[in-house]
Structure 1
Amino acid sequence: MLPSYFADMHIHIGRDIFNKPVKITASKNLTITNILKEASRNKGIQLIGVIDCQSPNVQLELKKLIDQELAYELNDGGIRFEEVTLLLGSEIEVYDENCRGPIHVLCFLPSLVEMEKFSEWLITKMKNITLSSQRYYGSAKDLQYKVKELSGIFIPAHVFTPYKSLYGKGVKQSLNEVFDPDLIDGIELGLSSDTYMADQIKELHSYTYLTNSDAHSLAKIGREYQEIQMSEPSFKEFNYALHQVKGRKIIRNFGMNPKLGKYHKTVCDQCLHYLDSDSTVCPECGSRKIVKGVADRIGELSDHTGEVELRPPYMYQVPLEYLPKLGPKTYKKLLEHFQTEMNIIHHVPYETLLEVVPEHIAQSIIQMREGKLAIIAGGGGKYGSVAES
C-alpha cells in the first residue's frame, strides 16, 4: 500500500523578499519562507501549493533558499524544504468574452524553469505580474493551452463562491461555456460547499475534488486540506492522484462544514439578514444588494441526486483556532507537546490530550475529529462559527 500525505494546495503570499505586497489582503508575515516553515514545523502538512509564484520576486526568494541549500528541486517536480514539498502555482483571474463575470483558476507548473516561462508569457497578458490574482487579458482556453504546453495542471478555484468563481457568476449553467473540459485536472470546492453539494452537478462527476485553505495568514494554512495516497509528495505524484493513476488518489477530503463558509446562505449584503434564494429586496433594511448563497446557487444548477461512486469521504473539520476557548496560549501548549496540528487533529488519544488541556477542549478536539461539532451558519461574507457546548 502506498503511503499517504496531507496537502493544502491554495496558499497566498502577503509579502515578497523586498517586503513589497503580493496579495494585498494577506498578512505581512506570509512570506514564502515563513509559509514553508509553518507548514513543515507546525502544521505537519507535507505538500503545499503556493499560488503566487508567478511573481518574479517570489521566484527570487525560492532561488535564494536553493542557493543556501535550505531547499532543492525534485526530479519529479516541486521544491522540497525540510518535511514539506512546495508546488509552484499561480492564481489568475479570467474574464474572456464568454464569461458573465470573473473566474479564478489555479495553474501549477513542475519547476522554476516552467514557472519563469509562464511568467514571461503572462507579462504580455497581465498588467501587474508581481501581484496576486490579477486579471488575465485573453481567452480561458488559450490559458489552458499554455498551461498544458508547459506540462502544468489547471484547476478552477473555489468554484461556487458568489464572487470571482466558475459557477458563482462566471457561467450561466456549464463550465463548457468558458473552458475546455478535457484540460481541467481537478475542481476546488471552496469553503462554502462540500462533496455532496458539488455532486448535485453531473458535469463535475468525472473530476477529482480538492479542499484547500485559500490561506491569507499563517494560521489559516490547513484550514481545509486532503489526504493523498502517493509514493511521495511531488508534482508528478500529485498529478497522478488527480487522475487516479497507478493507485495514486485522494483518499479523504477534510473541510469545514459548509455552514461555516462566508457564503453558504443567501443574505442581505447590507445587514446580513438571511433571505430566501429568490429574494430581490431585504425586508429588514430595504436593500437590493443580495448575495446569493452557495447552497442556493447549487440548487439552481442541480441535475443529479444521490452520491457518486468511488468518491472519497468528506470529513468535516475546523482549524484548532475555531474551537471555543482554545486561545493562543493553549494552542502553543498543544504544539509543544504534540509537535504539529495534524498530530493533534488526527492522532493524539483523548486521554493524552487530557494531560495537557482541560476536558472541554479535549472533548471539542475529539468531536471535531468525528465531525460532530455544532455549527452556526455563515453568509454574505461573514464566517459561520462553532457553537459552544
Structure 2
Amino acid sequence: MAEYFADLHIHIGRTKTGRAVKITGAKTLTFSNIIEHARDYKGLNMIGIIDSHSPEVLEEMGQLLQAGELEEHPDGGLMYGGMSVILGSELEINDESTQGPIHVLCYIPYLDKMKAFSSWLSFHLKNVHLSSQRVYISGKDLQRKVKELGGLFIPAHVFTPFKSLYGKGVNQSLTEVFDPDMIDAVELGLSSDTMMADQLSELHRYPFVTNSDAHSLAKIAREYQKIEMAEPSFHELKLALRGEDGRAIRANYGLDPQLGKYHRTVCAECFTFTPSYDEACSKCGSIKKVKGVADRIGELKSSAGLQYGRPPYIHQVPLEFVPGLGPKMLEKLLDHFGTEMAILHYVPLESLQNVIPAKTAAVIDKARKGELRFLAGGGGKYGKIAD
C-alpha cells in the first residue's frame, strides 16, 4: 500500500486544435499541458479529467496512447509515467425533480467505455464537444448509464449557490433527485469542509472528496485528497471510496471555507456582508443577496456534525494565495524543491527561508500549521489572508 495525492476535477479549456471545451477555462488547459503540469509541477499522482467525453479530447488521448506517451492501466485509467489519469465527465441535469440545474461528475474506467459514453451522450445533449452541458434525461437515468459502464457517480460541489444539489435553496434532499445507492461520493466544493457537510445526516454514509474544479493550470490541486491504495488505478480508487481492503481516503486537503468564493451571504450588488438574507443591504439598500454556503447548511442542518471515522480535513492555503509569493518566487521554489506537493507537505521552514524571504516563508509555514487568519469570501469573490 502507498499514499497518493489525487485531484479528480480538472477541466479542459481547449483541445489541441484550439476548439473550446470549457469556455470559461484557460486556453492553456489542453490535455497535454494538464498532465505535464499536474505531474511535474504540482506533484499529483492521480487526476480526473472531467471533460473526457469531448470527441477531440478522446482523439488526443488515443494519439498519445499510440505514441507511447500514455498507457492504459488494466484496472482502469491512463498512466502518464507514474501518474494516473481518470476519465470523467461533468454534466448538468435539470428535470422536473431538480428545481434548478445540478452538476454531477461521472467517471468511466476505460477509454473505449468513455467513447461509448460520449456516443450515448451525443443523443441526450446539444453539443457533446463542450463541458458541463445539460443532459436531457433524469439524474437517475444518468446514474444507471454510468453504472452500466462500470463507472463512479459523484454530485459536484454540492453546496455552491449555483448549479449544485443543495445550493439553489429548493432541493432539500438528494433522494429527490438521485438514487442514493448509486452515489459513490460527494464533492464538497471550495466553501465548505467536512465539519460543515456532516451537519446533513443524509451525507453520513458517503465519503467526501475535495477537488480543485480547476479552470487554469495554476488552480490545479488547490483542493485534493490523500488516498491509500495499492496503486493509482480506477479499480483501486473505487475500493478506496468504499473503504474496502485497507484502501481509503486518508486526508482531505482544502481551502479554509472562509477562502471560498461563496462562504458567507453578501449583497449581490456591492458584496457587503449581510447577516440576514431577508433584510436590505445596510450599505446600498439592495434586496438582492447571494446566500452563503454556511447559511445554506444552517437551513438544512439535521445533525450535530462530524461523524466517527472520517479522515481529517486539513485546511490548506494554495501557494497562489500567499501574499508576496509571485510567479518568479514560486518558480524559484519549484526549481529548488521540485513540486508544490513537496513545498506544502515536506520542505522544512529553514529550507524555505534559504530560498525566499523569511516573511513569505513564515506565511507558508503558518498556513501549514493552520495559524492564519482570513477575511471570508462571498458572492463569487475569494476570501483573503488577513495576516
Distance 2:229 2:169 in 1: 33
Deviation at 1:306, TM superposition (A): 3.5
Kept in 2: contact 1:277–1:293 (CA 8 A): no
Number of the residue aligned with 2:220 = 221
* Matching of residue 352 in structure 1 with residue 347 in structure 2: no
Task: Summarize the alignment of residues 235-254 of structure 1 with structure 2, pairs less than 5 Å apart.
Answer: 235-254=234-253
For residues 226-281 of structure 1, the C-alpha deviation after alignment (integer angstroms, 9 at most, x for no partner) is 00000111100111111101010000000000001110001111110111243253
Gaps of 5+ in 1: none
* Matching of residue 168 in structure 1 with residue 167 in structure 2: yes
Deviation at 1:172, TM superposition (A): 2.5
For residues 20-56 of structure 1, the C-alpha deviation after alignment (integer angstroms, 9 at most, x for no partner) is 1100001000000000000110000000001000100
Q: Percent identity?
A: 57
Distance 2:373 2:338 in 1: 27
Number of the residue aligned with 1:316 = 315
Name the SS of the counterpart of 1:279 in structure 2.
coil
Distance 2:317 2:131 in 1: 26
For residues 137-192 of structure 1, the C-alpha deviation after alignment (integer angstroms, 9 at most, x for no partner) is 01110000000000000000000000000001175310000000000000000000
Letter of the 1:42 counterpart: Y
Kept in 2: contact 1:11–1:215 (CA 8 A): yes
Kept in 1: contact 2:277–2:289 (CA 8 A): no
Deviation at 1:284, TM superposition (A): 2.3
Distance 1:318 1:235 in 2: 28
* Matching of residue 294 in structure 1 with residue 293 in structure 2: yes
Number of the residue aligned with 2:10 = 11
Kept in 2: contact 1:88–1:108 (CA 8 A): yes
Kept in 1: contact 2:196–2:305 (CA 8 A): no
Name the SS of the counterpart of 1:169 in structure 2.
coil
Name the SS of the counterpart of 2:146 in structure 1.
helix
Number of the residue aligned with 1:377 = 376
For residues 280-322 of structure 1, the C-alpha deviation after alignment (integer angstroms, 9 at most, x for no partner) is 5323223232111000000000011042000000001021111
Kept in 2: contact 1:320–1:326 (CA 8 A): yes
Number of the residue aligned with 2:94 = 95
Distance 2:359 2:224 in 1: 25
Task: Summarize the alignment of residues 257-336 of structure 1 with structure 2, pairs less than 5 Å apart.
Answer: 257-336=256-335
Letter of the 1:63 counterpart: G
Kept in 1: contact 2:188–2:208 (CA 8 A): yes
Name the SS of the counterpart of 1:135 in structure 2.
coil
Kept in 1: contact 2:107–2:153 (CA 8 A): yes
Give the count of matched residue pairs: 387
For residues 298-349 of structure 1, the C-alpha deviation after alignment (integer angstroms, 9 at most, x for no partner) is 0000011042000000001021111010111110000000000000110011
TM-score, normalising length: structure 1: 0.98
Kept in 1: contact 2:191–2:259 (CA 8 A): yes
Letter of the 2:182 counterpart: L
Name the SS of the counterpart of 2:202 in structure 1.
helix
Distance 2:51 2:164 in 1: 18
Letter of the 2:40 counterpart: R
Name the SS of the counterpart of 1:190 in structure 2.
coil
Distance 1:170 1:65 in 2: 44
Distance 1:113 1:223 in 2: 30
Kept in 1: contact 2:165–2:171 (CA 8 A): no
Moved more, 361-370 or 276-285: 276-285
Number of the residue aligned with 2:362 = 363
Name the SS of the counterpart of 1:192 in structure 2.
coil
Number of the residue aligned with 2:111 = 112
Deviation at 1:374, TM superposition (A): 1.4
Deviation at 1:383, TM superposition (A): 0.5
Distance 1:22 1:170 in 2: 29
Distance 1:232 1:385 in 2: 37
Kept in 2: contact 1:277–1:292 (CA 8 A): no
Number of the residue aligned with 2:76 = 77
Distance 2:343 2:36 in 1: 18
TM-score, normalising length: structure 2: 0.98
Name the SS of the counterpart of 1:364 in structure 2.
helix
Letter of the 2:272 counterpart: H
Number of the residue aligned with 2:254 = 255
Name the SS of the counterpart of 1:333 in structure 2.
helix
Number of the residue aligned with 1:179 = 178
Kept in 2: contact 1:107–1:154 (CA 8 A): yes
Name the SS of the counterpart of 2:258 in structure 1.
helix
Kept in 2: contact 1:101–1:170 (CA 8 A): no
Distance 1:349 1:130 in 2: 45
Moved more, 274-283 or 87-96: 274-283
Kept in 2: contact 1:159–1:189 (CA 8 A): yes
Task: Summarize the alignment of residues 139-218 of structure 1 with structure 2, pairs less than 5 Å apart.
Answer: 139-169=138-168, 171-218=170-217
Deviation at 1:352, TM superposition (A): 1.3
Kept in 2: contact 1:102–1:170 (CA 8 A): no
Number of the residue aligned with 1:50 = 49
Distance 1:96 1:121 in 2: 18
Number of the residue aligned with 1:66 = 65
